Structure 1
């Protein structure tokens, strides 16, 4: 709800979505790369909708900066890849993280020493010209622009490590929001069709400076079906009427890009991989209502290759001459195998009725409850929250235990 209790849709890209709660303070951590003009454009858009963020939005002084030339380079890198295009958002994220890893990036705190910033900025841009040719870019104009932006940004900047540990020391509740799912993690996702940062649970420590021992409950958020934006392998993708249904009824269009998301059946092989790495205490199953009209619902439970079940995601036995024995196979992270696998599905009956107004687990249709229970038992993780509509109020709280078959 907006400030006048009118239903309002807020679109979050860079800013923390917790800002919809007027009692919540948002902090953009050091692990995020930030395009300052986009930061203010999004903030201005939210404020114009009546969402007052005054005094409750901050940004780490260690966060790396994305510049317009990073976005230009992002497009040029995709052209270089040709048919192997990763399908990035072309928002400059990859090139900014590349600069960070090569220790040539600029961080938020650099903005407040203008002369040093200007010298470093010129040097970096010249380096991009040498690498990609002299593309159109107003270097001096950008330096002037960022001098102005720096002064507007100053009230939002904090030492995020000190800030967040002060909050923890005062016993405040800290909810860490991960913007991307595990399959986009730079190490554990479908590399190279991934983002450039750690999206797994380890990102809590590297992206915010919170020690692992201080992490409490870990909640995995999953859709009732699987989606993907951009390129990369997608074994359960449905290029048929089911896929169209999930796209249209589920309004599956990227928030940042507007691109139509690829859709398919829920993939529990991927989810098991995610559970192993992230160690979820509970799950939040969203968009369950999108399956309301389907007569049958499939769930992926195995990947098979040459009549042998793969041991993990993606996993391939006897690859590169690695030894195996009679009792096990050695899985290696080669995504090429996903083009060859046969997906084994379990088919469950649909419920074919609307659950949008349901407010308790017990009131869900029997087949709907069975669908939820199957997921819980397969993953051995309880589903505690169930989304039955797009509104914040459309969330069922379920008892925190695995449903018995």
Structure 2
């Protein structure tokens, strides 16, 4: 089993690269998160954002798994499937989609809890997507959640209605505006019926038996390393573990079965929501790069914060994940710049720091910059490594040497074919 993860704060272009390597795999397995993440893919010249569906749905030979470590919103999953079927009526993928019996449900009241927490002065504001993902994982941890297998139990409707009504009443008392309870339940139960029509299986058994048969599996991570609940910029993180080792736990596959670990990062950095961001730009260049790179959340539309590449944070992410192959995206966005900078190290309390530490000192980190000569080229005319500008190759060579990890792929545009394989550097 190979694993693919993001190395920054998300939005690195993981979906595009997964789409690029999908032909090499038999199974794509999503191992964490829910509808709070969007992987953007261009298929038949159309932009598609997959929120809960794995990124292998467009390939007829690929089976797709929504693993145990995920949380599933039945309504959003139904909408995503129906919209994809409407956009691509010839695409047949539902019989190639398998959902873990042990994955947990996102209840219709969970997003309202997000709204309440974000708007209340009594709780931290962290910039959540308001999809109810944190609440679903909280219910899971408190052993008050509902697994997908529960939907087949005789008493499920009565039990779930009681739980949702309890939450609904509490939210109402707190002044949260919601839709009518009966309408909420009617919609939710209709979506549950849709969910029952899908293949809900023991994905751990399926994945391990597939490996024994020699099938190739790619574990697909949502969000990214710096948003990991344990190892990221807590509390400004997501609600699940996002690093490579989480794939084994969430999918029920032994670490001994892991092969390559792909790490995707941008030639610069972005993040959505609140939290420390040492290399953040706060001038007109930020707006320029945001516009040029179309840096708006694929799920929420929120403008992303922009910064120069953060090498100490990238070293930290490569270390945590044990990355074996690097993929850099959006090198074209930095095109036409006279100077490209990156944060080479931090200064904290007058001391130099070469690798990030996710503790209370991270918010105090002062970036120390390294300047590179910018590159100016027509990326639409480039199809191989030899045609890349020498300035970009120098940037790549520096990163490879610093990270001690090969950078094997470079994305130089938004289209599916805008990926170049690089030689050992």
Same fold (TM over 0.5): yes
1:362 to 375, 383, 386: 386
Partners of 1:390 and 1:298 in 2: CA distance: 23
How many residues end up aligned between the 2 structures? 379
1:279 to 302, 322, 330: 322
Aligned to 1:341: 365
Partners of 2:311 and 2:121 in 1: CA distance: 31
Deviations 1:330-377 (A, max 9, x none): xxx11xx33432211110001122223311112101001011111111
Deviations 1:156-204 (A, max 9, x none): 2111111111221211110111111101100000000000100011211
SS in 1 for 2:396: helix
Aligned to 1:33: 71
Partners of 2:79 and 2:163 in 1: CA distance: 27
Partners of 2:189 and 2:135 in 1: CA distance: 22
Partners of 1:373 and 1:146 in 2: CA distance: 52
Partners of 2:311 and 2:354 in 1: CA distance: 13
1:24 to 62, 69, 76: 62
1:120 is displaced (CA, Å) by: 4.3
1:205 to 245, 248, 270: 248
Per mean C-alpha deviation after superposition, the further-off stretch among 270-279 and 44-53 is 44-53
1:146 is displaced (CA, Å) by: 4.1
Aligned to 2:45: 7
Partners of 1:348 and 1:245 in 2: CA distance: 19
Per mean C-alpha deviation after superposition, the further-off stretch among 377-386 and 15-24 is 15-24
Partners of 1:163 and 1:78 in 2: CA distance: 39
1:375 to 399, 405, 409: 399
1:122 aligns with 2:162: yes
1:239 to 273, 282, 305: 282
Aligned to 2:84: 46
Higher relative contact order (CA 8 A, sep 6+): 2
1:314 is displaced (CA, Å) by: 3.0
1:143 is displaced (CA, Å) by: 4.4
Partners of 2:268 and 2:221 in 1: CA distance: 19
Partners of 2:291 and 2:270 in 1: CA distance: 12
Rate the CA distance shift 1:85–1:101 in 2: closer, same or farther, 3 A: same
Aligned to 2:190: 148
Aligned to 1:92: 132
1:25 is displaced (CA, Å) by: 1.6
RMSD: 2.0
Deviations 1:63-120 (A, max 9, x none): 1111220000111011225794100000000111110010000111111114234224
1:37 is displaced (CA, Å) by: 0.7
| Greater strand proportion | 2
Partners of 1:230 and 1:26 in 2: CA distance: 30
Aligned to 2:295: 252
1:138 is displaced (CA, Å) by: 4.6
Aligned to 2:31: none
1:390 aligns with 2:417: no
Asked if structure 1 preserves the Cα contact closer than 8 Å seen for 2:117 and 2:124, the reply is no
SS in 2 for 1:371: helix
Partners of 2:135 and 2:292 in 1: CA distance: 35
Aligned to 1:110: 150
Asked if structure 1 preserves the Cα contact closer than 8 Å seen for 2:272 and 2:305, the reply is yes
Partners of 1:143 and 1:156 in 2: CA distance: 23
Asked if structure 1 preserves the Cα contact closer than 8 Å seen for 2:342 and 2:370, the reply is yes
1:271 is displaced (CA, Å) by: 0.6
Partners of 1:163 and 1:97 in 2: CA distance: 24
Asked if structure 2 preserves the Cα contact closer than 8 Å seen for 1:104 and 1:124, the reply is no
Asked if structure 1 preserves the Cα contact closer than 8 Å seen for 2:345 and 2:355, the reply is no
Asked if structure 1 preserves the Cα contact closer than 8 Å seen for 2:108 and 2:188, the reply is no
Partners of 2:121 and 2:83 in 1: CA distance: 35
Asked if structure 2 preserves the Cα contact closer than 8 Å seen for 1:283 and 1:384, the reply is yes
Q: Gaps (5+ residues) in structure 2?
A: 1-18, 20-42
Per mean C-alpha deviation after superposition, the further-off stretch among 93-102 and 242-251 is 242-251
Rate the CA distance shift 1:64–1:114 in 2: closer, same or farther, 3 A: same
Aligned to 1:310: 353
Partners of 1:131 and 1:13 in 2: CA distance: 27
Partners of 1:114 and 1:124 in 2: CA distance: 17
1:351 aligns with 2:393: no
Q: Gaps (5+ residues) in structure 1?
A: 316-332
Asked if structure 2 preserves the Cα contact closer than 8 Å seen for 1:94 and 1:196, the reply is yes
Asked if structure 1 preserves the Cα contact closer than 8 Å seen for 2:281 and 2:306, the reply is yes
Asked if structure 1 preserves the Cα contact closer than 8 Å seen for 2:222 and 2:242, the reply is yes
